[in-house]
Amino acid sequence: MRSRFSAYAVGDSDYVWRTWHPRTRPDEVHPDTRTSWTALEVLEAVGDTVEFRAHYEGPEGRGVLHERSLFSRRAGRWFYVKAR
């Protein structure tokens, strides 16, 4: 989760795409370049689920994305599957 947030923060869409589960990932990832991701709070990580708040600044001001994400471990690596 933290590495994906960091990738969004620095605009590394290739990393975001590579860490998305092949079953659910889009053909391409195009982050909104008008959005700056500023902070991550991991609220809970239990098994394959992570609840977090990702803080950002965008065209409409500051905001927070609050999500519970499902991950799957494959070949020793974690992949984002979907929001719950």
CA 36 remoteness from chain centre: 13
Residue 8 has pLDDT above 90, yes or no: yes
Phi, psi of 47 (to 5 degrees): 60, -120
Give the closest residue to 17 by CA, choosing from 50, 70, 8, 68.
8
C-beta separation of 8 from 32 below 8 A:
no
**pLDDT, tens digit (0-9, with 9 covering 90-100), for 27-58:** 999 989 999 999 999 999 999 999 999 999 99
Mean of the per-residue pLDDT values for the chain? 96
Instruction: Give the pLDDT confidence score for residue 48 in this predicted structure.
Output: 96
